[in-house]
Amino acid sequence: MSQQDHFKSVSFLRSHIQETMSFYHPNCIDPTGGFYHYFNDEGAIYDRNNKHLVSSCRFVFNYAMAAIEFKQPEYLIQVRQGLDFIETKHKNPQTGGYFWEINGEKIVDATHHCYGLAFVLLANAVAVKAGVTQANATIDYVWDFLEAHFWDTNYGCYIDEYNEHMDVASDYRGQNANMHMCEALLMTFEATENHRYLERAYQLAKTFCIGLAEQTNGLIWEHYNSQWQVDWAYNLDNPKHLFRPWGFQPGHQTEWAKLLIILNRHQPETWMLEKAQFLFNKTMELAWDNNHGGLVYGFSPQYAICDGDKYFWVQAESLATAALLAIETGDDSFWLWYEKIWQYCWSHMIDHDFGAWYRILNRENEKYSNEKSPAGKTDYHTMGACYEVMRALRLSEDNS
């Protein structure tokens, strides 16, 4: 078996998921509730108290996907306990929303983020897929909460953020929260077969990948004002912001491409695969580092590299998209990219000694620190990419 065939075999992908999962399980389980969110390279926990809504939800995703694939009852126990922690500790009883960050019983950040709600929705949708039918009630609740407060019917997009009292919305608008809402809505449609979720996912994809992208030569910009006009200056002085970095994000171009391919399975239209190919090919052209390998983190409106760092999630989303495009189009050039990205990750991003992926490397593929998995990571992107490629391979086999 060639190296390329090895990377695209279901057995390899399953094995890699198990190896990555073993870095976290059972070490990540907090006996007082929920999960630990901060791990160094060796797997030691360096903060046992802070809990971030995004990590709390992503751990549920990890365990639910593993429960579906590997049929381990202990994984399903963690799904239920993780959802319980979100509802009892992250839930804000005054507003009905969810705390962004907590530390024990202390509220560190009570801001209401659409990005966080997207992951609450995603976690509950995957839980339903895994057989936790009680999560259906939370799905309905979150949908209604989003409709009441975050959905902007004038523009067909979600508002990003409210203050802690849910009475003042920020003027900031962003694609990132809406992209993850699209992801969550697709998963929720698959879990519930309720077409309102598919219709909304379609609307978001059309708005961002076609409508708003007309302002930016077909690529997807990150930041907008309250009228959904491009804000070229937002976070220009803070380009490495964790959730809102400045510049075009290569990882978000390919992540949208992946979502378009998934959407095309459920509601196919010609523009979806065409746009997915454009986003992927343009990203490879502009963001692949020909000197050191891997995809850089960001490029400017003039298409110059503005952040040469290599982030784990950018590589993971891009390799998944390459595989899905190869399978959907029959174009083997996408398999070549799949192999190229995987080989880079195998050589640089994956810790073959202790497990899981490094979070960030510099342009020369050197680590900045020994913090492998701070809040927000959980390797949801890396394992999720493997699951998505496995699903595409299996669907291809079923249809052949």
* Residues forming the active site: 252, 381
Q: Which two tokens stand for residue 167?
A: 């009475």
Q: Measure the CA–CA gap between 158 and 169, rounded to whole angstroms.
A: 11
Give the bridge partners for 173, in sequence order: 224
Torsion of CA 145, 151, 157, 160, to 10 degrees: -60
Residues 6+ apart with CB under 8 A from 10: 390, 393, 394
DSSP 308-352: --EEHHHHHHHHHHHHHHHHHH--HHHHHHHHHHHHHIIIIIB-T
**Nearest Cα to 179, choosing from 114, 109, 267?**
114
Residues 6+ apart with CB under 8 A from 302: none
Q: Which two tokens stand for residue 41?
A: 């390279």
Largest pairwise CA distance in the chain:
59
Tell me the CB-side half-sphere exposure of residue 356, using CA atoms within 13 A.
27
Q: Measure the CA–CA gap between 227 and 78, rounded to whole angstroms.
A: 42
Q: Measure the CA–CA gap between 222 and 306, rounded to whole angstroms.
A: 14
DSSP 248-262: B-HHHHHHHHHHHHH
173-174/161-162 β-pairing: unpaired
